[in-house]
Amino acid sequence: MILEILLVILSAVILLVLLLMAKNGIIASMSLRNIFRQPTNTFLVILGSLMGTALITGSFAMTDSFNKFIYAQIEREYGEIDEVLYKAEGSARQGGTYFSLGEVSHWLEVLRRENLVDGILPVIRIEAQVKSLKENSQKAGLLQNYLKVSATGVDWSAIPSFGLSSVAVPEPEETEGVAGVYISKDLASMLKVEPGDTLSFSTNILQQLAFWTRIPTVRIAGILPEDSFLNYKGMGHGGVNGSVVMPESQLRRLINLSGEYETNAIWISNRGDFVTGVRRIEAVAASFIAVDLPPAFKLDTTKKELVEVADEGNFGLIFLGLSAFAILAGILLISNTFKMLSEERQVELATMRALGYKRSRVTLVMVFEGFFYSVLSAVIGVVVGMLITSFILGQFAGFIHNVASVLPFELPIPMTQENITFGFYIKPISIFYSFILGISIPLVVIFYTSFRNAKMNIVDSIRGLPPAWDQTSRKRFQVLWVVMAVVCVLVSAQGWRIRNELVFSIGIFGASFFLPLCLPVKDKRWPVTLACFWVIGLSMLYRPSYALHELPNPWVILVKGVAILFSCLLLVIFNLKVFESLLKSVFSHSRLSKGVTKIAIAFPSKNRTRTGLTISMYTLVVFIVTLISIIPYSEEKVIRKSRDSFFIGNDLLIFRSPFGGNTGQSAPSLTEILATRPELSSVSVLRSVRVQKVVTEEASSSLTFSLYAFNKGFSVSDAVSWTVIPSLKDEIVSPGDLIAYLIAHPGTGVQSGFGYFEPGEEASLVGSTGSISRGGFADMQQMMTARKTAASTDQFPIRVIGTLNENPISMVQGVLSYEKHVPDSFLKGAQTTTFASVKGATAGEKSAAVKSLSDELLSSGYLPLYADDIIKVISAMIEGIIGILRSFLYFGMVVGIAGIAILMFRALYERKRIIGMLKAIGYTKTHIFQSFFIETSFIVLIGIVLGVVAGILTSQQFLSVLNFAELEIPLSIPWGLLFTVCGVFYAVSLAVTFFPSYMAARIPPAEALRFFE
């Protein structure tokens, strides 16, 4: 709806301007003459507007590309499928409980009637085992050749009408009794097969081999497109290795399933694209509850949970915030360019007024000229922005592959650009919004400034004086500031009342900025300055009392960052005279002429609005660069220091590989392998189950966490941090003493990672099947093992005597207790995790030992993770993402540099007469060149310093969110990187202004003093 409204408004504006041009032919002709009269000036205007539009387009494209990237894996595995309806109880056959569509038809009809869905597809989905019949793909061992897969039978005729994305996949035919199937690309890669090859297909390979039953075969008709929802891997059923899809009738014949078993799952696609569909999951779930189907029916909404997990890191918000700042920088460049154009035309417009032209017709001269510039620059700018962003992202398309290459072993699933990539992507609506901004901002600026110029006194305009605020305008703005201040005070009061920190922050910061402007004083410098310091202090030090024990809302941090940035800008803009005096005193001790320094600083101090816009543009770019330099640098330093925390002091984490291996009966167990390896110094085994704290006799806490039962050989490195309750400090003096105490005292435990208990707290634990509800690196292990455990109904009383490994960057997040003290009912079906420490005095010796051990573990079906490799992977991931951001923001720096170059060129044309007068009274070429040079340095240095200061303060705010989440990340500043980037930025900015400064110095006085060109 918004898109349609904007399209109508834009069309109406363009049509209106064209009609006005047709009606006012003379005015239109004058505007066109202005365009072609000064080609260089026209080029600079178009270039400035074009680059601003390109930066805006690139910002939209970067955000769209990143959102596409973070949701890519979810989108690949779920596609258009947002929910799955299934039955969890009753008579079950292969693949789960079957049911008829009649049992749920009334709810499906509700979904259609409420227009919530655009696709409903009943399927038969089972777990199967497949192997290639090609000789070159066979491995040693019979069972090792089989891979667990998800096999799905669908009504092929219903596929095209499911969701928005059309799947152009012809129906596979059955030939000579052999079913035709499609397989996913990752499965084809693991089996090393291609269309036309044959697979062995079984639903119970052990049973069929035991009874010598003929194993059916299927023929590969093709490879599924990666963007097809038929690749669906949710709901288990062996989908980790890939998917096999075939017509429902063929699957029924393969597994001997009669027609009375109608379906065991219904795929549901919500109306809209990926993001819109996920947003509608809550509405579909609410409808499911309202219809009150039998309790056996369940609605799987895992897709929404995965999207929420992907959003937990707030990377999307970071990209959105950075893009918003970049868009603002583009807007400032466009605004500054057209404001200078309007000021340049001021004398000409006043001359037209003196000749008898009405104000409305004088305004139209600039509107028509600005319309030409805006349309041309918007069209070219959108294309240029997309091309530049596409080129930048193209340099990082394979960075996931580079991350995977850090591992010392090859993953069974190839990590290539084809399956995980950071590619260029931009939504059509983002292109439209970019064009809207590119064409509307110049028109708004032109219309406003030319309207003000048309209202000026003719004599003042011809003299080149800036527009002055009359008493009426001042009163109007005074009333506006008062109204805005009152609104902000009411908003902050409402935020406090409803205990919403975001609303409160917006209100209090807005009121802090508007209240000084309401004061009935002419010089608002001191009130605004004090308000800026107040806002900075408030942002850094204050949180409402009701929010002190809550995790800060990332949007609040973003609002605080904007407030800090805006305060720094206002401090400079309202105190330009202070900087002028400071620089004068500095240059007074140099060999430079005092007149040169006065002229160089007087121009930016006089044109405060223009200078403020230019400084703001520089500040924004440096601000973002500072943010993306400090935050990842601080995180990486903490991660490197947390090496001993990953595996609670061990070097290796070993678990069963989900990708297969030698898992036959003759394969050695993990215990047997580790017992024969001389590289190992210790082996620790943990068995984990999900538990909850009992709150009352009737209920337990909704927070679920892991209970780890450790064996007697469990050891912890002395490098791991630990604390105990005060009464045990004399008895326990090392991590080893802590483990020994737990073994000797039943009913005791320690917590690892996040704070689930208060020190010394006594509680009862009860088994849980709930999902992980507290973050941490342990989530990775839970996803890798991917196995559900049955909940225990027994209770386990425990007293938590301290904390082991306080750092939440750990694969062990929960409570640890000795396995002999944990009830057997808790440990049924528990997940087993093995940790090991390797011998070696240096990192190189340990790495060599791990490499030797990894070869045997991988061949036996186990996956070893080395702590140093984890650090390398995380560092590579951080560097990859930050590299993308930096590359884009270097493009923003180019825009800032172009902005200062355009400013200096425009200043050259604007000040020709002044330059001529200065030369006439004795100023030399060197003096003119030095004045331009100092002016550029003045603007650029202030922008750089402001950006760095605001970036450091805001980085502290972002890191405080992680500190509050019990992951303490102190602020670490990469001074070398910041000095290098800012130094290059400053040097290039000066370099690009050399030419206009040189041109200004060489203008002959006679040419410079001409009134019109």
Over residues 326-345, the mean pLDDT reads 76
Lowest mean pLDDT among 163-177, 517-531, 567-581, 780-794: 780-794
Lowest mean pLDDT among 476-490, 639-653, 674-688, 927-941: 639-653
Q: Is the pLDDT of residue 181 over 90?
A: yes
Same domain, 696 and 829: yes
Lowest mean pLDDT among 94-98, 148-152, 562-566, 757-761: 94-98
What residues are paired with 201 via a beta bridge? Answer: 130
Q: How many domains does the chain have?
A: 5
Strand bridging mode 700-710 / 814-818: parallel
Same domain, 192 and 70: no
pLDDT at 542: 79
Instruction: Label residue 807 by pLDDT band (50, 70, 90).
Output: low
Closest CA to 705 of 636, 641, 751, 649: 751
Within-domain flag for 241: yes
Same domain, 640 and 622: yes
pLDDT at 789: 38
pLDDT tens sequence across 393-413: 776 655 555 554 545 544 444
pLDDT tens sequence across 894-923: 776 776 777 667 666 666 777 777 777 777
Within-domain flag for 128: yes
Residue 273 belongs to domain spanning: 83-300
Same domain, 685 and 734: yes
pLDDT tens sequence across 454-494: 777 777 776 666 666 666 777 888 888 899 999 999 999 99
Over residues 835-854, the mean pLDDT reads 81
Among candidate residues 398, 432, 466, the one where a domain is terminated:
466
Count CB atoms within 10 A of the CB of residue 1012. Answer: 7
Half-sphere exposure of residue 878: CA atoms within 13 angstroms, side-chain side: 20
Instruction: Label residue 774 by pLDDT band (50, 70, 90).
Output: very low
pLDDT tens sequence across 831-844: 888 888 888 778 78
Separation of CA 452 from chain center: 42
Q: Which range is most confident: 368-372, 632-636, 674-678? A: 368-372
Over residues 858-871, the mean pLDDT reads 77
pLDDT tens sequence across 709-750: 988 878 777 777 788 899 998 888 888 888 899 999 999 999
Among candidate residues 798, 818, 838, the one where a domain is terminated:
838
Q: Is 1000 exposed, middle or buried (0-12, 13-18, 19+ CB in 10 A)?
A: buried
pLDDT at 10: 78
CA distance between the termini of the chain? 49
pLDDT at 488: 92
Distance from C-alpha of 387 to C-alpha of 402, rounded to nearest angstrom: 24
Over residues 768-787, the mean pLDDT reads 40
Within-domain flag for 675: no
Instruction: Label residue 817 by pLDDT band (50, 70, 90).
Output: very high
Same domain, 511 and 439: no
pLDDT at 235: 63
Over residues 927-950, the mean pLDDT reads 84
What residues are paired with 865 via a beta bridge? Answer: 653
Same domain, 914 and 772: no
Among candidate residues 781, 815, 838, the one where a domain is terminated:
838
Same domain, 293 and 148: yes
Q: What is the 3-state secondary structure (H, E, C) of 701-763?
A: EEEEEEEEEECCCCCCCCCCCEEECHHHCCCCCCHHHHHHHHHHCCCEEEEECCCCCCCCCEE
Percent of the chain with pLDDT strictly greater than 90: 8
Strand bridging mode 243-247 / 147-154: parallel
Within-domain flag for 629: yes
Q: What is the 3-state secondary structure (H, E, C) of 504-555?
A: HHHHHHHHHHHHHHHCCCCCCHHHHHHHHHHHHHHHHHCCCHHHCCCCCCHH
pLDDT at 383: 92
Which residues are CB-neighbours of 495 under 8 A, at least 6 positions away?
501, 502, 503, 504, 505, 506, 507, 508
pLDDT tens sequence across 269-320: 998 877 788 889 989 989 998 888 888 888 888 888 777 766 655 555 566 6
**3-state DSSP percent of the chain in helix, strand and coil, to 5:** 60, 15, 30
Region of residue 797 (phi > 0: left; psi between -120 and 50: alpha; otherwise: beta): beta
Distance from C-alpha of 654 to C-alpha of 330, rounded to nearest angstrom: 50
Q: Is the pLDDT of residue 780 over 70?
A: no
pLDDT at 37: 78
pLDDT tens sequence across 90-116: 544 445 688 998 899 999 999 999 999
pLDDT at 782: 39
* 798 DSSP assignment: E
pLDDT at 361: 83
Same domain, 68 and 25: yes
pLDDT at 219: 93
Distance from C-alpha of 478 to C-alpha of 622, rounded to nearest angstrom: 33
Structure tokens at 138: 């066979």
Same domain, 88 and 231: yes
Same domain, 88 and 73: no
pLDDT tens sequence across 436-464: 888 888 888 888 877 777 777 777 776 66
pLDDT at 91: 46
pLDDT tens sequence across 959-984: 776 554 456 678 888 888 888 888 88
Q: Is the pLDDT of residue 829 over 90?
A: no
Round the CA-based radius of gyration of the chain to a whole number and report it: 34
Distance from C-alpha of 972 to C-alpha of 637, rounded to nearest angstrom: 8
Higher pLDDT, 909 or 190: 190
Same domain, 127 and 42: no
Within-domain flag for 664: no
Over residues 743-759, the mean pLDDT reads 84
Same domain, 455 and 476: no
pLDDT at 837: 83
Over residues 222-237, the mean pLDDT reads 78
pLDDT at 24: 87
Within-domain flag for 172: yes
pLDDT at 122: 93
Distance from C-alpha of 801 to C-alpha of 758, rounded to nearest angstrom: 9
Residue-averaged pLDDT of the chain: 78
- Phi and psi, residue 440, nearest 5°: -85, -40
Within-domain flag for 673: no
Within-domain flag for 921: yes
Distance from C-alpha of 412 to C-alpha of 922, rounded to nearest angstrom: 78
Q: Is the pLDDT of residue 331 over 60?
A: yes
Higher pLDDT, 240 or 596: 596
* 137 DSSP assignment: G
Contact status, residue 674 vs residue 899, Cβ threshold 8 Å: no
Lowest mean pLDDT among 536-540, 570-574, 881-885: 881-885
pLDDT at 337: 77
Higher pLDDT, 204 or 411: 204
3 state DSSP class of 800? strand
pLDDT tens sequence across 80-91: 888 999 887 654
Over residues 14-37, the mean pLDDT reads 85
